[in-house]
Chain A
Amino acid sequence: MIEFIINYQDKWTKALLEHLELVFVSLVISVLIAMILTIISLYSKQFSKLIVYFFSVIYSIPSLALFSLLIPFTGLGKETALIGLIVYSQYILLRNFISGINSIDNSIIESAVGMGLSTLQTFYMIQLPLAKRSIVTGIRLTIISTVGITTIAASINAGGLGTILFDGLRTMNTNKIIWGSVLSAGLALGLNYILSKVEQRI
């Protein structure tokens, strides 16, 4: 079993890097989109409820099914995987961002608005710094869940650690199945550990 890790070093490091790339790129785009949606939701409570509900429905679709649904529109490959990952991330990010902002004491917001801060100024001067803990939590949870879903994205040719796993399944190669799972689980656990440490510092 250890031989696999040594003999196929190129293969699994490439898969690992692809995996990290997908997670990282989708995370950056997701956080940007979630921030924009959060800002819009400051202007309308209804919009905020609506988007959280909308993305919760999408989040409940199994990943394999969502990826399959996207294929007719965007084909196989990385882009489709990215779209799927970004859509999934929105639910966790938005829930944490919005609930972090809503949990700020009302008197603080009333003071800010009452002294003449605009909605945007209140957001970046008051709400963002005070909600940073739940924002970081949202980002951590998103990373963990994205690492898992990215494994499935290999089924639509997006690359990543899932390729080793699916290869193993197709050829009934136990080594590959085990290493595919161990690597993706290890990546999730490792990132979770590091990010929890970061979170505790805040």
Chain B
Amino acid sequence: MIAIEFQHVSKQFKNAKTNAINRIDLSIQEGEFITIVGSSGSGKTTLLKMINRLYEADEGKVLLFGEDINKMNLVELRRRIGYVIQQVGLFPHMSVFENVAVLPKLLKWDKGKIEQTVDRLLDLVGLDQNEFKDRFPAQLSGGQQQRVGVARALAGDPKIMLLDEPFGAIDAITRSMLQDEILRIHGGLNKTFIFITHDINEALKLGTRVVIMNEGKIVQVDTPMNIVQHPADEFVTSLLQSAMKQQAFWKFLQ
């Protein structure tokens, strides 16, 4: 089943000369782990935010399970989609428990179900309930905060998860650990993940398919292996080469 479909979608920001997104077509199957990679200003965040309508498309349509998102109730739409951002954005006046429980409380679940869900989610993202439940965001490390961010996004049991460079501000060791865990989390749930990164290594490691963007357009969509073996154009080649150069540098050091 197609989870998300972009049909000729364009978006231009006020006072901008060129389109941030230029006639994009893309369909994403349910259960896929899509990574979107591209340099800054390539339009990847814009594309993501058009799925939960933080940005509205100027042209074209975005469909969610076949339904035009512009015809859906905005709040309902967003509650069906988990959203994780680089700056995490935890609510500083709420404990970890309360942060994760915001949406379940709004959805008026009963207390027992909320507690069960929060416990299960904290467990899923690798945080000990007893130790972390009552802590406040300021008492957590960056990695722990983002784990809570992921748990919070999963709280409403969304079918779609949007992750906008979630590990961008996290140190290399923790990031690599979190990458393994996000793969594990995705594997255990039948959810569609759309994950933005500017790190080609991360994109290739996580994605079942990788979307490569440049200047508001999709340059290539394919499995990591096909992208590495058959890069579509010079941009993709240069992106891959930059990663390979790093490897060569490592070899040199060793």
B89 touching A108, Cβ below 8 Å:
yes
Contacts of A105 in B (CB 8 A): 87, 89
The reply to whether the CB of B16 lies closer than 8 angstroms to some CB of chain A is: no
Please name the residue on chain A nearest to B52 by beta carbon: A114
A115 touching B54, Cβ below 8 Å:
no
Rounded to whole angstroms, the CA-CA distance of A7 and B76 in the bound complex is 69
Rounded to whole angstroms, the CA-CA distance of A111 and B85 in the bound complex is 8
Please name the residue on chain B nearest to A119 by beta carbon: B75
Rounded to whole angstroms, the CA-CA distance of A121 and B78 in the bound complex is 14
A110 touching B85, Cβ below 8 Å:
yes
Stretch at the interface among B25-33, B62-70, B90-98: B90-98
A130 touching B78, Cβ below 8 Å:
no
Contacts of B224 in A (CB 8 A): none
The reply to whether the CB of A32 lies closer than 8 angstroms to some CB of chain B is: no
A118 touching B75, Cβ below 8 Å:
yes
A113 touching B91, Cβ below 8 Å:
no
The reply to whether the CB of A116 lies closer than 8 angstroms to some CB of chain B is: yes
A116 touching B87, Cβ below 8 Å:
no
Rounded to whole angstroms, the CA-CA distance of A115 and B76 in the bound complex is 10
Report the minimal beta-carbon distance from A153 to chain B, rounded to whole angstroms: 39
B88 touching A107, Cβ below 8 Å:
yes
A116-B76, A116-B78, A129-B93 given; A111·B83 CB < 8 A: yes
Please name the residue on chain A nearest to B99 by beta carbon: A111
Partner of A115 from the list B88, B93, B103 (CB cut-off 8 Å) is: B103
A116 touching B89, Cβ below 8 Å:
no
A: contact size bracket:
10 to 19
B87 touching A115, Cβ below 8 Å:
no
B93 touching A113, Cβ below 8 Å:
no
Rounded to whole angstroms, the CA-CA distance of A126 and B77 in the bound complex is 20
Rounded to whole angstroms, the CA-CA distance of A86 and B40 in the bound complex is 49
Report the minimal beta-carbon distance from B141 to chain A, rounded to whole angstroms: 17
Partner of A108 from the list B91, B103, B106 (CB cut-off 8 Å) is: B91
Contacts of B81 in A (CB 8 A): 116
Partner of A107 from the list B80, B82, B87, B152 (CB cut-off 8 Å) is: B87
A107-B85, A110-B54, A110-B85 given; A115·B102 CB < 8 A: yes
A116 touching B75, Cβ below 8 Å:
yes
Rounded to whole angstroms, the CA-CA distance of A121 and B75 in the bound complex is 11
A115 touching B91, Cβ below 8 Å:
no
The reply to whether the CB of A42 lies closer than 8 angstroms to some CB of chain B is: no
A108-B92, A130-B92, A130-B93 given; A115·B85 CB < 8 A: no
A110-B85, A121-B106, A125-B102 given; A115·B78 CB < 8 A: yes
Report the minimal beta-carbon distance from A90 to chain B, rounded to whole angstroms: 27
Q: Which of A75-114 contact B (CB under 8 A)?
A: 105, 107-114
| Beyond A105-B87, A111-B85, 15 extra complex contacts between A and B, CB < 8 Å | A108-B91, A108-B92, A109-B89, A110-B85, A110-B89, A111-B149, A114-B52, A114-B85, A115-B82, A116-B76, A116-B103, A116-B106, A118-B75, A125-B91, A130-B93
By a beta-carbon cutoff of 8 Å, the part of chain B in contact with chain A is 52, 54, 75-83, 85, 87-93, 102-103, 106, 149, 152-153, 156
> Could you show 6 A-B contacts with beta carbons less than 8 Å apart?
A110-B54, A111-B83, A114-B83, A115-B103, A116-B81, A117-B106
By a beta-carbon cutoff of 8 Å, the part of chain A in contact with chain B is 105, 107-118, 121, 125-126, 129-130
